[in-house]
Chains A and B, each alone.
Chain A
Amino acid sequence: MSKEEAIPMKNETSEQKKVNRPKKISKSQKNFMISVVSVLAFLIFWEIISYLQIINPLFISSPIGIIQAAGILFTDVSFWTNIRVSAYEFAVGFLLAIIIGIPMGIFAGWNHTFNSIINPFVSALYVTPKVALLPIIIIAFGIGVASKIVIVFLMAFFPIVMSATKAMSTLDQNLIKTARSFTATEFQIFKTIALPSTVPFLLNGIRLGLGQGLIAIVVGEMYASTAGIGYQLTNAGQNLKTAEMFVGVIVIAGTGVVLTGLVGLIEKRFSSWKPE
């Protein structure tokens, strides 16, 4: 019996909460198994197509070929240098986007004047493909690390600002009125209502920003650079070292999956109160 159906009588106990369910494979476990099988099937399919040369392995490589290439690359010092460079560019650009974007977005959602000031720029730049600015960025910041930080920042910043502002505009006015009835100050309202209700939006913005930032790193390094994973990947591709190129792609994809997973974990932690 669910609690929702019950009008509680005065001495209703919490016994009804403890309903023991028979043990079964949980739905999520089952879904996970299905995903694993699906991926394995795909890899086998890929390997076969490549092995039978149905598609030229020069274009698609093969899972085993990629694993071999990875084995070689992972012992190569320059590969790790590339990763370090990209990680640094990404981390700095992305952290800047968060540190500036979140407070700015929240403040814009809180203060109408400030919002009117920045909104035209944010809205316009949000829809601008920032990669179109790469030529100028490279001229201004050089082909080194700085230009990549800038492009990562630019691409991650706007989704983060936009979702932070959006979050504030969806605040429940009834909750605010309730807080006021208890003589709440503006700061208390901000702390107890605005911030907690914005967390899901902020995390969503961060998630969007992550995807954009990873694109930025690769495109930026492809366009003009001397190091980094995008550089390595482009080089490998142009020299028809398809397996090596795929290693780069997988490293980036893996980073995306791990970081998104991390955001998911934080989200879970903040929404433990939510219904399933």
Chain B
Amino acid sequence: MTQQKLTSQFLDVTYVNNKTGDEIVALKNINLSIEDGEFICIVGPSGCGKTTFLNTVMGFIKPSNGTILLDDTKIEGPGRDRSMVFQSPNLLPWRSVLDNVMYGIELQKRVSKETKALALQYIELVGLKGFEKSYPHELSGGMQQRVNLARALSVEPSLLLLDEPFSALDAQTREFMQKELLRIWSQTRKTSIFITHQIDEAVYLADRVFVFGARPGHLVEDIKIELERPRELKVKRDARFTEYVDRIWDLIEKESSKQGFS
């Protein structure tokens, strides 16, 4: 049996409204485990707690019940072993690409010749060689998202979290970035959790797709994607690919109709 990287046991997350004191159960009884080197995608209707799950793994949110173990250690807060790629690039506008990529390293107080070389290496890996001195406003949305990715990678986390990182990109750039992400991932084999609303994106990228349902957020199904790697974009026209997409669609539709909107 392969080593478990991340395990979530009986995880509940509850938000308490500061003003009214009302409780919202965002996640209920999440049990799952992720193996080292796996690429996981999470899909589910809006508001089903995907971001909440990622924020809990990141250590931003404390579970109200249950635990998350990363490499057999309980997650208590943000740590150097995890980094996050956010939906918006969140770059410091007054810093160059290189200095932005160095930002995480700097905050972790690990600036050195070696880590700088590492940052440059990741800039090259995400395809931004030659743009080290450019500023964020000089880059396209897709390029900014690459900087975001390089920054998260260059702290060399053992778990990479991505919350809808391509959702702000146009369809073409998005497909291109999906392919790029797989290329980068194939070179690093970082355990990754990737949230998306696009089912074909999830099937294209993932080893396994977790389908979440809402009210309260829970794991509906864990679907293994048995499409061989490396995957070209044309795998999206493969019959098996379409089958996966259809199946996940049905699941999400069922979940959404339970919520009351169709």
Give A contacts to B, CB under 8 Å.
3-14, 172, 174-175, 177-184, 188, 192-193, 196, 270-271, 273-275
- Kindly state the separation between the CA atoms of A188 and B130 in the bound complex, as whole angstroms: 29
- Kindly state the separation between the CA atoms of A4 and B138 in the bound complex, as whole angstroms: 6
Which residues of the other chain, B, contact A188 by a CB distance below 8 angstroms?
Answer: 107
- Kindly state the separation between the CA atoms of A6 and B80 in the bound complex, as whole angstroms: 34
Among listed B19-27, B84-92, B188-196, interface-contacting one: B84-92
Judging by beta carbons under 8 Å apart, are B93 and A273 in contact?
A: yes
> Could you list some 26 contacts between A and B, CB below 8 A?
A3-B139, A4-B138, A5-B140, A6-B140, A7-B143, A7-B173, A8-B127, A8-B131, A9-B127, A11-B129, A12-B129, A14-B130, A14-B131, A175-B90, A175-B92, A177-B86, A178-B84, A178-B86, A179-B107, A181-B60, A182-B83, A192-B106, A192-B107, A193-B92, A273-B93, A273-B95
- Kindly state the separation between the CA atoms of A275 and B79 in the bound complex, as whole angstroms: 35
**Residue among A7, A13, A184, A275 with max Cβ neighbours from chain B (10 Å):** A7
Decide yes or no whether B142 CB sits under 8 A from chain A.
yes
Which residues of the other chain, A, contact B143 by a CB distance below 8 angstroms?
Answer: 7-8
Which residues of the other chain, A, contact B82 by a CB distance below 8 angstroms?
Answer: 181
Judging by beta carbons under 8 Å apart, are A183 and B86 in contact?
A: no
Which residues of the other chain, A, contact B155 by a CB distance below 8 angstroms?
Answer: 182
Decide yes or no whether B120 CB sits under 8 A from chain A.
no
- Kindly state the separation between the CA atoms of A5 and B141 in the bound complex, as whole angstroms: 10
Q: How far is the CB of A21 from chain B (nearest CB, A)?
A: 17
Which residues of the other chain, B, contact A274 by a CB distance below 8 angstroms?
Answer: 93, 137
- List the B residue with the shortest CB-CB distance to A275: B137
- Kindly state the separation between the CA atoms of A11 and B155 in the bound complex, as whole angstroms: 24
- Total interface residues on B, CB under 8 Å, equals 37
Judging by beta carbons under 8 Å apart, are A8 and B78 in contact?
A: no
Judging by beta carbons under 8 Å apart, are A182 and B130 in contact?
A: no
Decide yes or no whether B261 CB sits under 8 A from chain A.
no
- List the B residue with the shortest CB-CB distance to A180: B78
Beyond known contacts A3-B134, A177-B90, A271-B94: 15 more, CB 8 A cutoff: A3-B139, A8-B130, A8-B143, A10-B127, A12-B127, A12-B129, A13-B130, A14-B131, A174-B88, A177-B86, A180-B60, A182-B107, A183-B80, A188-B107, A193-B92
Closest 4 CB pairs of A and B: A182-B104, A182-B107, A178-B90, A14-B130
Judging by beta carbons under 8 Å apart, are A273 and B135 in contact?
A: yes
Judging by beta carbons under 8 Å apart, are A8 and B128 in contact?
A: yes
Tell me whether A183 and B78 are in contact in the complex, defined as CB-CB below 8 angstroms, given that A174-B86, A178-B86, A192-B103 are known contacts: yes
Which residues of the other chain, B, contact A270 by a CB distance below 8 angstroms?
Answer: 94
Q: How far is the CB of A2 from chain B (nearest CB, A)?
A: 9
Which residues of the other chain, A, contact B137 by a CB distance below 8 angstroms?
Answer: 273-275
Judging by beta carbons under 8 Å apart, are A3 and B138 in contact?
A: yes
Q: How far is the CB of A195 from chain B (nearest CB, A)?
A: 11
Which residues of the other chain, B, contact A184 by a CB distance below 8 angstroms?
Answer: 107
Which residues of the other chain, B, contact A183 by a CB distance below 8 angstroms?
Answer: 78-80, 107-108
